[in-house]
Amino acid sequence: MLDIIYWPVSAILWFWHKAFGFVFGADSGVAWTLAIVFLVFTLRLVLYKPFVKQVRTTKQMQELQPQIKELQKKYKNDRETMAREMQKLQKEHGFNPLMGCLPVLVQVPVFLGLFHVLRSFNRTGHGFGQLGLSAEENANIGNYIFSATDVQSFLSARIFGAPIAAFITAPTNELAAFAEWGGTPTRLSIALVAIPLMIIAGVATHFNARASVQRQTPEAAANPQAAIMNKLSLWVFPLGVMVGGPFLMIGILIYWVANNIWTYGQQHLVFGRMEKEEAEKKAKKLEQRAQNAPKPGVKPVDVRKKQDAAVADDSSANGSAATNGTPKQSAKQGGQRRPGGQKRPGNRGRANQKRKR
């Protein structure tokens, strides 16, 4: 069912192994380690734009938090209206909650796909999802896009003496699958490689979470749900990596370390650009204010007086238009006209009467 994930993941891993195998040798542990690292980098590069949208969505959600709280307070007894108003608010600001979790949702199947592909290089186990093959059968059966020769190359690869597909709590029969391909590894040799990777992965997870929490607004950090998620990401998730490390293959731990290194660098790059954009917007606003402000020594112009003058001009224009209306109105307002077309003053008779008196 998940072959749609397994085949692309194995194809990317195969490509990078061929590239680095050409330099370091096909059976080199360095070639396989770099293949896993660049598999991570390839997938994260594809997910770069969704990650940027995720960061912008998270920031936008923090900015809308006061309005969301007002809606929750206003419609606390009417959930239907509150949901409708929430959707309206999100639509007005172009906010899409799905973009906040899309990169994480995409990375989960990739992680599961890589776990399955690396685990399928050694199918001698008898647990859940294992085939229980013999060491000989396992070494002579391909693994998705990898041929049987590639499987043997992977079994032969060592990093500081430990197979990449081995883990600390691996059963003895699974470790025996490496016997003909570089010798059976000891748990000590596996632990000496796995434990430092577990510590690095846990510490990197913690610092990535801390970098995200420090950029939250005070309003967002005060939200109870956000506070719980912050504690989980700061302490529980890193601890989970270290506790679950003995059950994870060295290749998966390499994936986890590489993923956290990429995330740490990408966060600083994206947040740095966003801060630069905000600084440019603030500078533009200040520049516009400076341009609109009166120059030194010039009397400031009252905008309200300009508006009143404009209104007066409009009213006078309307009045002149009215005087040029119907003949009766013009005759009443401007007096009668003489036969020659000249205008007769309207108060002429009254003035003559006064003179006679």
**The pLDDT of residue 96:** 64
Joined tokens for residue 100: 């906040």
Q: Which amino acid is at 124?
A: T
Confidence of residue 1 (pLDDT cuts 50, 70, 90): low
Residue corresponding to tokens 């529980």: 236
Whether residue 333 has pLDDT greater than 70: no
Angle between helices 187-214 and 237-244 (to 10 degrees): 170
What's the rounded Cα separation, in Å, for the pair 271 and 287? 24
In degrees, to the nearest 5, what angle opens at C-alpha 348 toward C-alphas 342 and 349? 130
Whether residue 353 has pLDDT greater than 80: no
Burial of 345 (0-12, 13-18, 19+ CB in 10 A): exposed
Whether residue 219 has pLDDT greater than 70: no
Q: What is the mean pLDDT of the chain?
A: 78
Whether residue 107 has pLDDT greater than 70: yes
What's the rounded Cα separation, in Å, for the pair 69 and 238? 31
**The pLDDT of residue 145:** 94
Structure-derived torsion over alpha carbons of residues 261, 262, 265, 268, reported in degrees to the nearest 10: -120
Backbone angles phi, psi at 346, to 5 degrees: -75, -25
The secondary element (H helix, E strand) that includes residue 172 is: helix 172-175
Mean pLDDT of 174-180: 87
pTM for the structure as a whole: 0.71
pLDDT digits 0-9 by tens, 56-99:
777 777 677 777 778 777 777 777 887 887 778 777 766 666 65
Confidence of residue 335 (pLDDT cuts 50, 70, 90): very low
Q: Which residues lie closer than 8 Å to 47 by C-beta, 6 or more apart?
A: 103, 106, 107
pLDDT digits 0-9 by tens, 114-151:
888 988 888 888 777 677 888 888 889 999 999 999 99
